[in-house]
Every structure is written in C-alpha cells, then in structure tokens.
Amino acid sequence: MRLLSRTLLNLSVYSVIILILVTPVFYRIINRIIWDEVDENLFLQKNEIQIRINRLKPDTDLLGWQSLDSNIKIEPISTTFFRDSLFTHQQYNSVTGETEPYRVLITSVIFQNKPYLLTARVSLLEQEDLIKALAVTQSIALVLLLAGMLVINWRNSSALWKPFYKTLDSLQKFELEKAKPLSFTQSKIKEFNDLNKAIAQLTARDHQVYRNQKEFTENASHEIQTPLAIVQSKMEMLMQTNLTKEQAGLMEEMMIALARLSRLNKGLLLLIKIDSLPFLEREKVNLKEFLEKLILVYQAEANQKTISFQVSLQHQEIFFNPLLLDILFSNLLSNAIRHTSPGNIISIFSSLQQITISNPGEALPFDPEKIFNRFQKGSSKSGAGIGLAIVKRIAETTGIFVQYEFYNHTHFFSIFFEKNRLSH
Amino acid sequence: MKILIVEDEKPLAESMAAYFSETDYLCELAPDYESASEKIALHEYDCILLDITLPGGNGLKLLQELKSYRKNAGVIIVSAKNSIDDKIKGLDIGADDYLPKPFHLAELGARVNALIRRKKFEGETFLYIGNMQLDVAGKSVTILNKKLDLTKSEFDLLLFLISNKNKVVSKNAIGEHLSGDEADRFDNFDFVYSHIKNLKKKMTEAGSADYIKTIYGLGYKFER
C-alpha cells in the first residue's frame, strides 16, 4: 500500500464513521426540536383559546365556533379532573382530502365554569418535510466537508511527499555501471534533504568504488599485456634453438597456457570495455544473414570436432550494435562447440523474438543460476570462464534478455529481443 | 634494410631485434622518446616499430614528427593498449599497421615483410623460391610454370611461412594469422594441421621440394 493511500485511508475511515453516526443522531435531534416546538405550540394554542373564551359573552355558542377551524374541536364533558394527553395520529384532513399524520392535544378548557374537552391538532406533514430538508441539507454539507477535507489532504500530502517519490524514482533507475552519482534538488523539508544527502553520498561512494575497481582491472589487464608479450617473444626465440623432444613437449604446454592467459586477459578487457566504450550505436542488422555468416566462421572448428550445425532461422531484422551482436553470438557459439562432444549436433533456431542455441550434454555440475558468472567452469575444458559473463554483460547493457535452460540432456541458451528492436 | 625498434621494454625490444637479426634486416633500438626522436631525424629507416606509451612522450607524437620530415619509413604501431581510438588515431596520422601486444614474433615478421614489400618494391610483388614463383598481389603460386590450385588460407599460410623462413613458427601464430580478427574466437588451432598437410601435398605433387618441416611439439618451419 502506498504511503499516501495509507494516510488517506485512516482519514477516510474516520470520515465515513462520523458520517454514519452523525446523520441519524442529527436527524433525531432535529426531530426532537421540531416536535417539542409543535407540542409547545399546541399548549400555547390551548392557553390562547382559554384566554379568548374567557372574554366571550356568556351566551356565546362555543360549540358553533369550532366549525371555523377543522383543527379545533370543543365538546362538553362532565368531569373537570382531566389529564391532558398528547399523541400522534393519522387523521383525515378535510382541506387536502387525505389522511395525514397529526399531533393531537386533548385537554380541557373552562367556559362559564363548565369544563369542555378541547382537541387541538397540527398536521405534521410540513414539519416532516422540514425535517427531511434539514437532514438532507446537513448531510450534503457534511459529505462535502469530509470529501473536501480528504481531497485537500490528499493534494497536500502529494505535494509534501513529491520529493520522496522523486528520490525513490531516481534510486530505482540508478545503475552503478552507467549513471553518474545521484544528485537531488533541494526540498523544503529537512528530513527529505537529509535523506537525499545520505543517498547522494552513498551512491557517490558506490560509484567511486565501482570506478576504482574497473580502473584497477583495466590497468592490471593492460599492464599484463607487456610481460605477456615479453614471455611470448622469449618463447619464440627459444623455439628457434635446437630443442630436444622433451623440451619441445614442455614448450608446447607452456605455449598453450600462455595462449590461454592472453585470451583470458583480452576477455577481461572486453568485459570492462562493454560498458565504457561508446560503441552502442545501433544499426539495422539482418539477423538471419548475420548468423549464417557467423556460423560459417565456426564451421572449420566444428568440422575439426566432427560437430555439425542444424540451422533453422527466420527472417529477422533488429536494431543492434553489430560489434556487440558479434561478440554475443560468438561467445554462445564457441561455448556450444566447446561443450559438445564429437559427433553431436548444435542447433540454432529462431522464432519471432527469440534465438536459441542448443547443444546436447550432461547437466551442469554446479547451480545453473551461476552459469553466467565469471570463472564458473564445469569441467577442465579449455574455456577461460569469461565468455558467458560477457554475454550476460551485453544483455544487461543493451536490455535484451538471455536465458539458460537444461532438459532432455540438452543445454538451451535463448536470447530474447525486445519488440521495439525488431522489424519484420 | 633498416628497422628502428622504438620500445621501452628492453627484453621485448631485444627479442624483436634478435628475431630480425638472423635475416637481412639491421635493427636499431630506441628505448625512449628522446633517442627515438633523434634517430628518426638523423637516419633513414625502412620500417619503424613504434610503441605508443614511451618514457618521455607519446609514440603518436613521434609519428607526427616522422611525417613532418616527409620520410618514407613504414610504421607499425606496437601497443599494449589495444584501444580502437589509438588504432584509428595512429592509422590517421599515417601509421601503416597496428599490432596489439602480446603478439607472435612470426606475426610481426610477416607484417614487416609485407610492409617493406609494399613500400620498397612497388609493383614488384613476385617472390622466387627454387622452382616456385609467388605472386603476392595476385595471390597465386606457380611451380614449373604450372599454377597451383590453392585456397586462400593455403596461400596465406605459405606466404606467412615464407615471410618467416628458416624460423620455427608455432601452430598458434599460424592459427591466429590465418583467422585474423576472428582469432579470439577459437579455443585451439587444430585446423592448421590440415591446411599444412594439404599445402605440402599440393606443393610436392606439383614438383616443388618439401620445404615445410614439422617441428615436433612446436610448429612448422619453411626451410631453405
């Protein structure tokens, strides 16, 4: 859950609870007030009537008066000891011709020392409408208030947390190999500034360490070239002398090891260069033609080992740096040749976005996850242990996806190109 | 024929000089920028082997000096920095070739030979060995007036061996030479053996002497 949603959720839950609780309470209170008002009015009316009939002449027909107002009824009663009663009742309204709820007060008045029963009533229809109107208005106001609060809070929080999300975003995009150390714009909030400062320092340090390490590897690899050249030249000079068979055998072993060392060193240099060389310009490459040519290059080596290629390629064009593409597939192909026993078949096939190179063999003696690691070697075969690391590095810098699988006693290396690199 | 070796690593420079000394070439050494600059100004060379990182200055600057004298020496840059930038820059200023360290002396020998052939004997590209005639430009071999049917690799192999004649050339040196830029791709150069076998067979069948000797455990030698 996002930070912003979390804070807003609390607020929303509170608002909804308040809304649910307050609306009926409010309705009840309004109801109460209005009913009290109605009851009070009824009693006032009774008092008013009492005062008025006291002023009437003794011979006035009291009962005749009541026909003037359908809401007042006066009838003679025998007892003066009468308790007032107040109730709500559905009654017929002669004006509207409908049955309506009425608040009815039954009480007594005294006229000429004789008790009369007074029934006064008030239609509650208008009052109910009023209550409803009041309740609705109030509820709308409450909803608007809470909604407004939420929106304002959300906008405020968004603005407040913006630097945080910006920092988070740049951290997610941060790549040690590529980018410069992170730098941030100043925020008004101290905590964010502190966070940014800490992150900037951390990434700068990481970057420096990475660069130092890279520089070290690069320098070391370059420095190794010269002694290698000296040893190589001295061995070639030694070769020109009269060597015994035994010495020649020793020389051969040394030359093989030396060749391996210089290949390894070149591989290391290449691995470093992949991120630093500005050779990432893309070109349109016809992948089918490209691979067919590359396979031809390896044909002689494969023939030597009596390995054959089974090629099934679809027409594909991709935008890619040709040099990187060459290094990528060369390493995969030579890896396949190296680890295929004589007499077997290496198959290279492509489908829409994918190229797979597979060769039969035994399961890896190590964790397949580690196959793209540097110097992860399964057998005593002569590889330098760096080819697949180079493949992985190229994949990482160019955004393609490389995958290793093993089933049916076959190793599968697949390269997946993004759609936007392809054009059919 | 004079070669100037501008190289600060003394053991390497000595190996290079020793490799050429048994041939018709006369080698001089310059271990730093100053002495190289002086030698370039005073003497004429057929070929200069130039290291880029030198005590006292950059080899590329020496190359510019050389060009300013309008001297006709061929220049091969020999550098530990196998960087594409240096290579392009060097070739731009006027170097004829670029050889990254570490290299096989046999490869250096072949490059120097090719360079001198280009510079000295313009147009004259025929080599004669016994009853064999090599047309370097046309990439063809004639033995007893009969053209030999050689593949490109076989011709390159023969020329490489002749360029290093009377020297033992290792299988790796041949393999790397034949595969050129592709050399790094291969784990081993076992294919050299079959090329040698075919070449020897074609040459002896055409009536040439069997010049190519197999040196056990080491490589091959064009002996004459």
Residue B187 has pLDDT above 70, yes or no: no
In sequence order, what DSSP letters do the residues of A226-289 get, joined into one string?
HHHHHHHHHHHHHHTS---HHHHHHHHHHHHHHHHHHHHHHHHHHHHHHHHSS----EEEEHHH
The dihedrals phi and psi of A400, each to the nearest 5 degrees, come to -90, 170
| pLDDT tens, residue by residue, A145-196 | 888 888 888 888 888 888 888 888 888 887 776 657 777 778 788 888 888 8
Q: Is the minimum CB–CB distance between A306 and chain B shorter than 8 Å? A: no
Whether B185 sits inside 8 A of A233 (CB atoms) is no
Query: Tokens 């290391």 belong to which residue?
Result: A268
The pair of structure tokens assigned to B86 is 């240096």
Nearest to B191 among A232, A263, A300 (CB): A300
CA angle A135, A138, A141 (to 5 degrees): 150
Report the C-alpha gap between A163 and A165 in whole angstroms. 6
Question: A222 CA to chain B: closest CA distance, Å?
Answer: 6
Report the C-alpha gap between B45 and B67 in whole angstroms. 13
- B164 CB neighbours in chain A (<8 A) are none
Q: Which residue(s) pair with A123 in the sheet?
A: A102
Residue A279 has pLDDT above 60, yes or no: no
The CA distances from residue B79 to A264, B9, B74, B106, in Å, are: 18, 12, 16, 17
The mean of the pLDDT values for chain B is 86
Q: Chain A residue closest to B182 (CA)?
A: A297
Residue B184 pLDDT grade (very low, low, confident, very high; cuts 50, 70, 90): low
The dihedrals phi and psi of B32, each to the nearest 5 degrees, come to -145, 175
Whether B217 sits inside 8 A of A252 (CB atoms) is yes
Query: How high is the pLDDT of residue B38?
Result: 92
- With contact defined as beta carbons under 8 Å apart, do A167 and A183 qualify? no
Q: Is the minimum CB–CB distance between A239 and chain B shorter than 8 Å? A: yes
Report the C-alpha gap between A283 and A320 in whole angstroms. 5
Query: How high is the pLDDT of residue B159?
Result: 92
In sequence order, what DSSP letters do the residues of A306-359 get, joined into one string?
T-EEEEE----EEEE-HHHHHHHHHHHHHHHHHTS-TT-EEEEEEETTEEEEEE
Query: How high is the pLDDT of residue B111?
Result: 92
Report the C-alpha gap between A15 and A151 in whole angstroms. 12
Which among A289, A327, A379, A219 is positioned nearest to B184, based on CA atoms? A327
ipTM of the complex: 0.87
Query: How high is the pLDDT of residue B70?
Result: 81
Report the C-alpha gap between A330 and A335 in whole angstroms. 8
Query: How high is the pLDDT of residue B196?
Result: 92
Q: Is the minimum CB–CB distance between A334 and chain B shorter than 8 Å? A: yes
Query: How high is the pLDDT of residue B160?
Result: 93
Residue B23 has pLDDT above 60, yes or no: yes
**Residue of A218, A223, A238, A240 for testing the chain B interface, max B β-carbons within 10 Å:** A240
**Residue of A222, A225, A234, A236 for testing the chain B interface, max B β-carbons within 10 Å:** A236
Query: How high is the pLDDT of residue A314?
Result: 85
Question: Residues near B25 by Cβ (< 8 Å), separated by ≥ 6?
Answer: B1, B2, B3, B112
Q: Which helix (H) or strand (E) holds B107?
A: helix B105-120
A190-273: CATH number: 1.10.287
Q: Is the minimum CB–CB distance between A218 and chain B shorter than 8 Å? A: no
In sequence order, what DSSP letters do the residues of A286-299 get, joined into one string?
EHHHHHHHHHHHHH
Query: Tokens 């091959």 belong to which residue?
Result: B220
Measured from the Cβ of residue B120, the count of other Cβ atoms closer than 10 Å reads: 13
Whether A236 sits inside 8 A of B104 (CB atoms) is yes
CA A190 to chain centre: 27
Strands A354-360 and A345-351, sheet pairing: antiparallel
Q: Is the minimum CB–CB distance between A280 and chain B shorter than 8 Å? A: no
Query: How high is the pLDDT of residue A235?
Result: 92
- Cis bond before residue A368 (omega within 30° of 0): no
| Domain spanning A3-145, CATH class | alpha beta
Query: How high is the pLDDT of residue B17?
Result: 92
Expressed in percent and rounded to 5, the helix, strand and coil fractions of chain A are 60, 20, 25
Q: Is the minimum CB–CB distance between A329 and chain B shorter than 8 Å? A: no
Residue A17, sorted as left (phi over 0), alpha (psi -120 to 50) or beta, turns out to be alpha
Which sequence spans correspond to the domains of chain A? 3-145, 190-273, 279-423
- B194 CB neighbours in chain A (<8 A) are 304
Question: A237 CA to chain B: closest CA distance, Å?
Answer: 7
Angle between helices A387-398 and A322-338 (to 10 degrees): 150
Buried b (16+ CB within 10 A) or exposed e, B51-64: bbebeeeebbebbe
Question: A341 CA to chain B: closest CA distance, Å?
Answer: 15
In sequence order, what DSSP letters do the residues of A4-69 get, joined into one string?
HHHHHHHHHHHHHHHHHHHHHHHHHHHHHHHHHHHHHHHHHHHHHHHHHHHHS-TT--HHHHGGG-
Domains of chain B, earliest start first: 2-120 (3.40.50.2300), 126-222 (1.10.10.10)
| pLDDT tens, residue by residue, B136-172 | 888 889 888 888 888 888 999 999 999 898 899 998 8
Long-range contacts of A64-71 (CB under 8 A, 24+ apart): A70/A94, A70/A95, A71/A120, A71/A121, A71/A122, A71/A123
Q: Is A328 exposed, middle or buried (0-12, 13-18, 19+ CB in 10 A)?
A: buried
Residue A312 has pLDDT above 80, yes or no: yes
**Residue of A218, A219, A226 for testing the chain B interface, max B β-carbons within 10 Å:** A226
Length of chain B in terms of residues written:
224
Question: A266 CA to chain B: closest CA distance, Å?
Answer: 8
Residue A278 has pLDDT above 60, yes or no: no
Report the C-alpha gap between B77 and B218 in whole angstroms. 28
Residue A315 has pLDDT above 60, yes or no: yes
Question: A361 CA to chain B: closest CA distance, Å?
Answer: 19
Whether B9 sits inside 8 A of A229 (CB atoms) is yes
| pLDDT tens, residue by residue, B72-119 | 888 999 987 766 677 788 888 888 999 888 889 999 999 998 888 888
- Looking at this protein, which amino acid is placed at residue A233? S
Angle between helices B10-21 and B105-120 (to 10 degrees): 60
Q: Range with the lowest mean pLDDT among A109-113, A226-230, A284-288, B29-33?
A: A109-113
Report the C-alpha gap between B47 and B109 in whole angstroms. 11
A279-423: CATH number: 3.30.565.10
Residue A419 pLDDT grade (very low, low, confident, very high; cuts 50, 70, 90): low
Query: How high is the pLDDT of residue B33?
Result: 92
- With contact defined as beta carbons under 8 Å apart, do A142 and A106 qualify? no
| pLDDT tens, residue by residue, A52-85 | 888 877 777 777 766 677 788 888 887 766 778 8
Q: Chain B residue closest to A299 (CA)?
A: B191
DSSP-derived 3-state class of residue A109? strand
Question: B74 CA to chain A: closest CA distance, Å?
Answer: 22
CA A115 to chain centre: 82
Q: Range with the lowest mean pLDDT among A79-83, A138-142, A258-262, B71-75?
A: A79-83
Query: How high is the pLDDT of residue B183?
Result: 67
Query: How high is the pLDDT of residue B197?
Result: 92
